[in-house]
Structure 1
Amino acid sequence: MSSKDDSHYDYVPSVPAAVITVLAFIILLIVHVFRIFKTRTWFCTPFVVGTILEIIGYLARAYGKKKPTSTPAYIIQALFILLAPILFAASIYMFLSRMIRATGQTSFSIIKPRKLTRIFVGGDILCFIVQAIGGAILAGSDTKSASNLGKAVILAGLVLQIFIFGFFLVVAVVWHSRMKREKMDLDWERYIWMLYIVSAIISVRNLFRVIEYAMGKDGYLLANEWPMYVFDALLMVVVLALCSSWYVGDIGDGSACMREEGGGLVPTDVELGRTNGRAGTR
């Protein structure tokens, strides 16, 4: 517990943990900015914005050691760390859409790639708004009922995000399985497996947050700092590190396919999806 009764924290925030986390995110921010400009992969910009939110959030946590009663710092760290992974998810949704278009096998997807982006990114924006509203209510609450309302809204946003991610994985798995059933040469398959992995990691983080808020302020997860670093900060660092390896180049209108070049995916006029040595149908 902080020595001050009016502290916003049930513990003394760890400055070393916050600083190490900030440094990790700064390194990953530099990597992602470099990859975005190198490959002109602008749809990955949410990774950068989300990483900046993480950095600011953990800097605010470090400041919480010096000023544990600072309401602005507490609100910033709570909101920014809560919302940043939603931005990571947006780029992941758009990555699948572009990968489907780049292989030329759009007919295998249960949702058209352009609609896929609109549906999932739209759902992502809704989750962002709901959780932001919940966080604002919780941060500004001065009564137990207001605090409970804020937590309930945040929980609703987190549960919605889990369901959206689950449906997203269904879309990805169906498309992937149809490609395999047609015996396509899946030279790009490691990218879809990496997409599964990062999606699972974000889902674990979201589940942790659901349990955290469901347990309440008196629960173990909110009353101790280490779970947040293990089940949120560390997991998001892993997500950003993994995603830095599958940047794609300018895919274009979807008629192009992908090939590896310089560690990423770029268009090629030769289709990757092939059946018995011939280009697969779209």
Structure 2
Amino acid sequence: MTDASAQPKFVLWPYTPSLPGGMVAAIVFFILSGIHIFRLVKNRTWFCIPFVIGALFEAVGYAGRAAAHNDTENKNPYIVQSTLILLAPILFAASIYMILGRLIQRTESAAFSIVRTTWTTKIFVGGDILCFCIQGGGAGMLIQAKDDAGFKMGENIILGGLILQILIFGFFVVVSGVWHRRLAARPTSASAEVPWGKYICGFITIRNLCRVIEYALGRNGYLLSHEWPLYVYDFLPMMLTLIVCIAWYDPNIKPGRKPDIEFAMRR
């Protein structure tokens, strides 16, 4: 009989997380979260709430990485960072999806969309929720893994969720791209009042592609066994996404409400 004590111990971290890296990233995201919360409340663009929650997920997630520096055997920091950093971009995407539907209505350009305006938000946000559940389930399996087999199963589930997210976001890019091109060719009178051309962001797609490669290579692959790539293909794109989207809290993209600026302009 094999002595259980002789079996190799499953290790959560293949490296010691950087304390300065985690602290700097957490501070950056907490600052950006504060800015987004201010913009959200000031402009009452409540459909951007998922964006704010995602920013807080990033901040707390990287704080968890910093906390794990001195105790790599503690599961709590590992759970916090692996779950929140993984799921935050899904929340960013949810707000982006909702913005497209509102822009189409606000610019009175529903005829230019290849998807019915009433279904735009439902299709993409619904897909986003599915991706959230799949990746959340995969993250849960990673957390509970006691050996490489369990970890591999969690990786595969996350990989499937990431691929689905890329496909959904890819379709979203097609839908928004066609609408953007058609509206640019034949602007509506309402589109002159809204800077609709600025609401494009591809950082999430770049991040998701890198994450797919990361999990496809597996736990022993270079990307998961080294820390610096995470900051290049996850921290940096998500930070840039939050910076770019600070300008997205615009009351002019809320259609159909008389108190909004555009209705005041029409009087």
Q: What's the TM-score, normalizing by structure 2?
A: 0.89
Alignment partner, residue 4 of structure 2:
none
Alignment equivalent of 1:229, drawn from 220, 226, 231: 231
**1:267 pairs with 2:262:** yes
Would you tell me which structure has more helix in proportion to its own residues? 2
**1:81 pairs with 2:85:** yes
**1:32 pairs with 2:36:** yes
Q: What's the TM-score, normalizing by structure 1?
A: 0.84
Return the alpha-carbon distance in structure 1 between the equivalents of residues 185 and 132 of structure 2: 37
**Offset of 1:43 from its aligned partner?**
0.3
| Aligned amino acid, residue 139 of structure 2 | G
Q: What is the 5 A alignment of 1:58-69?
A: 58-69=62-73
| Deviation string, structure 1 residues 63-94 (Cα, Å, up to 9, x no partner) | 11111001121121101100001000000001
| Deviation string, structure 1 residues 96-145 (Cα, Å, up to 9, x no partner) | 11111111111111122231111100000000000000111122122333
Q: What is the 5 A alignment of 1:198-237?
A: 198=201, 200-237=202-239
Return the alpha-carbon distance in structure 2 between the equivalents of residues 188 and 140 of structure 1: 52
Identical amino acids, percent of aligned pairs: 43
Return the alpha-carbon distance in structure 2 between the equivalents of residues 188 and 213 of structure 1: 44
**Offset of 1:17 from its aligned partner?**
0.9
Return the alpha-carbon distance in structure 1 between the equivalents of residues 184 and 54 of structure 2: 34
| Deviation string, structure 1 residues 21-52 (Cα, Å, up to 9, x no partner) | 11111111111111111111000001111111
Alignment partner, residue 91 of structure 1:
95
**Offset of 1:55 from its aligned partner?**
1.2
| Aligned amino acid, residue 238 of structure 1 | L
| Aligned amino acid, residue 245 of structure 1 | A
Which deviates more from structure 2 when the two are superposed, residues 158-167 or residues 168-177? 168-177
Return the alpha-carbon distance in structure 1 between the equivalents of residues 237 and 78 of structure 2: 22
Return the alpha-carbon distance in structure 1 between the equivalents of residues 224 and 193 of structure 2: 41
Alignment partner, residue 12 of structure 2:
8
Return the alpha-carbon distance in structure 2 between the equivalents of residues 240 and 211 of structure 1: 23
Alignment partner, residue 132 of structure 1:
136
Secondary structure of the structure 2 residue equivalent to 1:44 = helix
Return the alpha-carbon distance in structure 1 between the equivalents of residues 251 and 93 of structure 2: 19
Root mean square deviation, CA, Å: 2.1
**1:177 pairs with 2:189:** no
**1:55 pairs with 2:50:** no
Alignment partner, residue 274 of structure 1:
none
Name the count of aligned residue pairs: 256
Cα distance change on mapping 1:162 and 1:109 into 2, 3 Å: same
Return the alpha-carbon distance in structure 1 between the equivalents of residues 92 and 187 of structure 2: 32
Return the alpha-carbon distance in structure 2 between the equivalents of residues 54 and 150 of structure 1: 21
The gaps in structure 1 that reach 5 residues or longer are: 259-265, 272-282
Return the alpha-carbon distance in structure 1 between the equivalents of residues 257 and 115 of structure 2: 17
Return the alpha-carbon distance in structure 2 between the equivalents of residues 21 and 48 of structure 1: 16
Cα distance change on mapping 1:243 and 1:60 into 2, 3 Å: same
Would you tell me which structure has more strand in proportion to its own residues? 1
| Aligned amino acid, residue 20 of structure 1 | V
| Aligned amino acid, residue 143 of structure 2 | A
**1:159 pairs with 2:163:** yes
The answer on whether the counterparts of 2:10 and 2:146 sit within 8 Å (CA) in structure 1 is no
Secondary structure of the structure 1 residue equivalent to 2:128 = helix
Alignment partner, residue 278 of structure 1:
none
The gaps in structure 2 that reach 5 residues or longer are: 1-8
Alignment partner, residue 246 of structure 1:
248
Secondary structure of the structure 2 residue equivalent to 1:142 = coil
Secondary structure of the structure 2 residue equivalent to 1:245 = helix
Return the alpha-carbon distance in structure 1 between the equivalents of residues 148 and 187 of structure 2: 58
**1:46 pairs with 2:56:** no
| Aligned amino acid, residue 241 of structure 1 | I
Alignment partner, residue 74 of structure 2:
70
Return the alpha-carbon distance in structure 1 between the equivalents of residues 120 and 207 of structure 2: 23
